């Protein structure tokens, strides 16, 4: 079974580039050049240098002893929360800004939901001196004021997306419209493993540093580089794809992707895409998305803005359909409780996105010796408001 992209830009039945002709030249330019650019020795050197000296990689793989004791397994946390800007998002924006420079682009656009990808994009634009415009839903701008301020301080222009539901999906639409209207000098840094080919493959490639490091760190800390389980949360799915990447072809390793059930999968307020969705096309690729019978996209709900997306990346759709990975979900309440638990057992406040992955431990059965790796994709500073309200802190 091939779990990776084929020469037509598909992962099994999913992927492709379902874009209007206005975007074709931009996407085609990227498609024909990205592999060569990334494979170039100079690119690799600069990418890894920045990951090391600027982002602070490798991120630690930490054996969480008290958490392990509670669940009866060896639980390792891949500490993406310790990266510069506080999440895994920067791995991708560093890679894409170097690609944009090599394509001769002068202007960067991005979409953002909670603002983590927007901040990571504004950061690399400041680093390299490129113009940056970030599209963000009007409602998210109100909910995430500190991240809006960070982006502005970094020199980015934050544009309010006022169409549709005024959240991430609509910010993505606005970014695509900007790209249509600026076809020559602009590169669109998509923040997840979504969008038209080659984005899902390119973003996964940049995020694959997560599992590349994890395998080395497992050899140092355990007897081999084959954990029993690898867990990660999924919105669009970039941290999960990075965490799974180098384990995908090792079928002994069980991959578990945790989606946001919101108030419950069947509550009408959920973002559990694989449970509720059907095959279709969203934001340029064929995948699984939440939609009506008429093919209109349904607005998802999750307390975590980073998981509040109505689709999953096409590679996830493929891993789901082929049963290579298991897709499950946890609710808002379960995630918040897991966030509190990690804080009190290990002294780490996780992002609510990452807390979804931790919450699934409650539902697993261990015999005592399993090695479990969980991607701790981001830190919880940005979520303090939500934690404060929920726990009455």
Partner 1 sequence: MNRINKLFQEKKNILSIYYTAGYPNLGDTVAIAEELERSGADLLEIGFPYSDPVADGPVIQASSKAALDAGMTLKLLFEQLKDLRKTVSIPVLLMGYVNPLLQYGVANFCKSCAEVGVDGCIVPDLPMAEYEELYANDFKQYDLTNIFLVTPQTAPERIQKIDSLSNGFIYLLSSSATTGQNLQVSEGTEAYFSRIAALKLKNPTMIGFGISSKETFDKACQYANGAIIGSAFVKNLKSDDVSGSVKDFMKTFKP
Residues recognised as catalytic: 89, 111, 377
Cα separations in angstroms, 312 against 37, 46, 63, 258: 26, 30, 29, 12
Residue ranges in 312-331 that form contacts with partner 1 under rule CB under 8 A: none
Q: Choose between 42 and 295: whose C-beta lies nearer to partner 1.
A: 295
Name which position in 105, 283, 379, 382 contacts partner 1 (CB under 8 A). 283
**Four-CA torsion 357, 94, 192, 284, nearest 10 degrees:** -170
Span from 49-57, 63-71, 126-134, 273-281 in contact with partner 1 (CB under 8 A): 273-281
Span from 15-23, 51-59, 62-70, 114-122 in contact with partner 1 (CB under 8 A): 15-23
Q: Does residue 164 touch partner 1 according to CB under 8 A?
A: yes
What's the half-sphere exposure (Cβ side, CA atoms, 13 Å) at 73? 19
| Per-residue interface string for the shown chain with partner 1, residues 17-56, x marking contact by CB under 8 A | xxxxxx-xx-------------------------------
- How many residues bind partner 1, per CB under 8 A? 34
Name which position in 173, 222, 226, 326 contacts partner 1 (CB under 8 A). 173
Buried b (16+ CB within 10 A) or exposed e, 220-238: eeeeebebbbbbbbbbbbb
Taking 3-state DSSP, the helix, strand and coil percentages for the chain, each rounded to the nearest 5, stand at 50, 20, 30
Residues 6+ apart with CB under 8 A from 373: 61, 76, 77, 78, 214, 218, 227, 229, 230, 231, 243
Span from 98-106, 272-280, 300-308, 324-332 in contact with partner 1 (CB under 8 A): 272-280
Tokens 């540093």 label which residue?
209
Tell the smallest beta-carbon distance from residue 7 to partner 1 (Å).
12
Q: Does residue 194 touch partner 1 according to CB under 8 A?
A: no
Buried b (16+ CB within 10 A) or exposed e, 36-72: ebbeeeebeeebeebbeeebebbbbbbebeebbeebe
Q: Does residue 282 touch partner 1 according to CB under 8 A?
A: yes
Instruction: Decide the pairing of beta strands 14-15 and 74-79.
Output: unpaired
Residue ranges in 62-91 that form contacts with partner 1 under rule CB under 8 A: none
Name which position in 41, 53, 220, 293 contacts partner 1 (CB under 8 A). 293
Tell the smallest beta-carbon distance from residue 135 to partner 1 (Å).
12
Q: Which residues are at the interface with partner 1 (CB under 8 A)?
A: 8, 16-22, 24-25, 163-164, 169-170, 173, 176-177, 180-181, 183-184, 278-284, 291, 293-297
């Amino acid at each position: 079974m091939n779990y990776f992209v084929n020469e037509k830009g598909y992962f099994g039945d999913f992927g492709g580039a379902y874009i209007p002709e206005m975007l074709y030249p931009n996407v085609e330019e990227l498609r024909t050049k990205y592999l060569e650019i990334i494979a170039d020795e100079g690119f690799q050197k600069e990418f890894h240098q920045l990951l090391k000296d600027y982002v602070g990689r490798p991120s630690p793989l930490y054996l969480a002893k008290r958490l392990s004791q509670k669940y009866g397994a060896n639980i390792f946390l891949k500490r993406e929360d310790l990266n510069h800007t506080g999440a895994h998002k920067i791995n991708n924006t560093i890679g894409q800004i170097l690609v944009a420079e090599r394509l001769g682009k002068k202007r960067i656009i991005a979409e953002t939901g909670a603002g983590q990808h927007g901040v990571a994009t504004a950061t690399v634009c400041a680093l390299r001196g490129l113009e940056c415009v970030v599209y963000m839903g009007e409602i998210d701008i109100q909910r995430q004021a500190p991240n809006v301020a960070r982006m502005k301080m970094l020199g980015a222009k934050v544009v309010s997306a006022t169409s549709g539901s005024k959240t991430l999906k609509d910010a993505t639409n606005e970014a695509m419209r900007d790209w249509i209207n600026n076809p020559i000098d602009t590169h669109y840094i998509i923040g997840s493993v979504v969008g038209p080919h080659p984005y899902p493959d390119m973003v996964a490639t940049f995020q694959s540093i997560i599992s590349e490091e994890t395998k080395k760190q497992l050899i140092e800390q355990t007897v081999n580089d084959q954990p029993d389980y690898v867990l990660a949360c999924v919105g669009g799915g970039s941290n999960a794809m990075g965490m799974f990447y180098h384990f995908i072809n090792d079928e002994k390793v069980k991959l578990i992707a945790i989606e946001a059930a919101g108030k419950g999968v069947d509550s009408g307020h959920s973002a559990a895409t694989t449970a509720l969705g059907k095959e279709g096309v969203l934001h340029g690729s064929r995948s699984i998305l939440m939609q009506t019978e008429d093919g209109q996209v349904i607005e998802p709900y999750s307390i975590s803005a980073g998981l509040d997306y109505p689709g999953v990346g096409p590679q996830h759709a493929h891993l789901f359909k082929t049963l290579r990975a298991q897709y499950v979900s946890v609710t808002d309440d379960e995630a918040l409780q897991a966030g509190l638990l990690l804080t009190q057992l290990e002294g780490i406040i996780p992002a609510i996105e990452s807390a979804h992955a931790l919450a699934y431990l409650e539902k697993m059965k261990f015999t005592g010796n399993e090695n479990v790796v969980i991607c701790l994709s981001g830190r919880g500073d940005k979520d303090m408001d939500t934690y404060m309200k929920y726990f009455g802190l």
